[in-house]
Amino acid sequence: MQQQLSHILESGSKLSVELLLFAGLISLILLISFLKKNEKARNVIWLVSLIVTVVSFFALTQTFVSDALLFNGLIQNSSFSHFGKSLVLISTAIILLHIKVMKYDLEGEYYVLILGIAFSLSFLLMSSHLLSMFVAMEAVSLSSYMLVAFRQKAHNLEAGIKYLIFGATSTALMLYGASFLYGITGSLSFAGIQQGLTSGTSDGNMVQIALLMTLAGPLFKLSAAPFHIWAPDVYEATPTPLISYLAIAPKIGGLYIAFRLLETVPYDHTIILSIIILLSILIGNFSALTQKNAKRMMGYSGIAQSGFLLVGLLGLEITGLRASGFYMAVYIFMTSGAFLLLDMVEKQTKSFQFSDMSGLSQKFVFFGIIGLIFMVGLTGLPPTAGFTAKFLVFTNVWEQYSGGGHKILLWVLLFGLINTAISIYYYFKIPYFMFLKTPPENKSENSLNMTQLSLLTILAFAVLALFFAPQWVQNQLF
């Protein structure tokens, strides 16, 4: 007992980032309760949440990474979780800045939920046990459902309910699968399951099915097929900065957990994973083609992008995971930038329809060029980091295939390349309408806000810089 207590106390001292985030969470709740409900108080709450995020980020850079198991094997602070946590905190900071520069006057509870997602994600990124994974994942889901439903307009609530129902179904499937894994191996920790499967005489089919069901949770977070159905509706209904956060942050956790689960079960997953990737890319791309609303288009694009993110997991090599990690880092800057762009466009035109964006760049040329950078990046063309990311994940597939891999890998490679070409059509719709269409006559003259433009420029700079200096991220990657 004494030994266990000292182990728990020692493990607790290694959670400095999480404890900081938790302290921030509590102080936010106290501030909300005791401050008056006016704009000044809401600014204070915003500032506190930004400070907490930045301080946690610097605390994270100071922490020492070790692969030791903490809390009796419940969590493990591996180098990838360290990298993932820094990505989560960076995206949180970007979203908080997005909220401020776009002059959203959000109530304090939004920031509690945003920090709550960051807090739970950092535990999800460390989990090495089915129980801690489940609790952390549920905390992320719960905060996400509420962020979607918060505005209390009919379409927000509808999207929230849809998100909740799909989320609950995938969680139920995940739990069912996890219970089978527990039943087969008699252990809940990833290491124990792996050991039980390699030494035991368990039946392969049952394990594969149980794994596939357990993957429902991370795939829902990634919005990958067949758990993608919620994405377009939720993307369309949710306020732009919030959906920008929900589009990037949970994907980091989903990607890591998908990797850990696939790694835990020592079988060949090539075919299952390839089918998931092919479905996600196909469904996402072909549904995005016909969209008229830019935010809905981003929803389908998110499905396709998560397919590309998963490509790096094929073969479960460490180089592949590094490629996916790099993709994730670039994806954060590209997506948050694209959403900021759409938000700024919406401020000008009051709508997210492509047809209303006509001729916007003829008025603001610099704005249009910056927007073009994000769309080029999301497509995956040089000279943006989107190209480097796609190049790295496809190199991984090619190496797997030429090293005697399964035939389906070639299909993944070919489909990925073809679909990259197809995605040019819908991503370039935004620059096309902005540059080449003639603007309507009776346009009210609005000027662009300089702070908004500078945040957009910084994000665009990151997308460009990572193409010329990918080592900035790659050195951080384990």
Partner 1 sequence: METLETIKNLTMTQWSFYAVSVLTLFGALGTILSKNPIHSVIYLIMTFFSLSAHYVLLNAQFLAAVNIVVYAGAIMVLFLFVVMFLNIKDEAPELDNNKIVIGASIVGGTIGVILVAAIRLTESQKIDPSTYQIKTGFIETLGQLLYSKYLLPFELVSVLFLIAMSGAVMLGRKEKGERNF
Residues that bind partner 1 (CB under 8 A): 1, 4-5, 8, 11, 22, 25, 29, 32, 71-72, 74-75, 107, 109, 112-113, 116, 119-120, 123, 131-132, 135-136, 138-139, 142-143, 146, 149-150, 152, 184, 201-203, 205-206, 209
Angle between helices 385-402 and 294-311 (to 10 degrees): 40
Name which of 25 and 294 has its Cβ closer to partner 1: 25
Give whichever of 107 and 268 is closer to partner 1, judged by the CB atom: 107
Q: C-beta of 473: minimal distance to partner 1 in Å?
A: 29
Encoded tokens for 155: 């379409």
**Closest CB to partner 1 among residues 131, 436:** 131
Question: 6 or 446: whose CB is closer to partner 1?
Answer: 6
| Pick 209 or 421: Cβ nearer partner 1 | 209
Instruction: Select 150 or 433, whichever has its Cβ closest to partner 1.
Output: 150
Bridge-partner residues for 127, per DSSP?
75
Among positive and negative, which fits the CA dihedral 290, 223, 250, 380? negative
Longest dimension (CA), the chain: 78
List, in sequence order, every residue forming a beta bridge with 69; answer none if it has no partner: 76
Q: How far is the CB of 216 from partner 1 (least distance, A)?
A: 11
DSSP string, 83-134: HHHHHHHHHHHHHHHHHHHTT----HHHHHHHHHHHHHHHHHTTB-BHHHHH
- Give the residue with the Cβ less far from partner 1, 203 or 454: 203
For residue 4, which phi and psi values (nearest 5 degrees)?
-65, -40
Q: How far is the CB of 128 from partner 1 (least distance, A)?
A: 12
Q: How far is the CB of 382 from partner 1 (least distance, A)?
A: 42
Taking the alpha carbons of 260, 265, 271, 275 in that order, is the dihedral positive or negative? negative
In the 3-class helix/strand/coil scheme, how is 179-233 assigned residue by residue? HHHHHHHCCCEHHHHHHHHHHCCCCHHHHHHHHHHHCHHHHHHHCCCCCCCCHHH
Q: How far is the CB of 217 from partner 1 (least distance, A)?
A: 15
How would DSSP label each residue in 27-45? HHHHHHHHS-SSHHHHHHH
Q: Which of 31, 59, 60 is nearest to 43 (CA)?
A: 31
CB closer to partner 1 out of 5 and 450:
5
* Minimum gap (Å) between residue 289 Cβ and partner 1: 25
In the bound complex, what is the minimum distance in angstroms from residue 23's beta carbon to partner 1? 12
Smallest distance from partner 1 to CB 200, Å: 9
Give the burial class of 284: count Cβ atoms within 10 A of its Cβ; 0-12 exposed, 13-18 middle, 19 or more buried. buried
| 3-class DSSP state of 73 | coil
What tokens does 230 get?
A: 């919620």
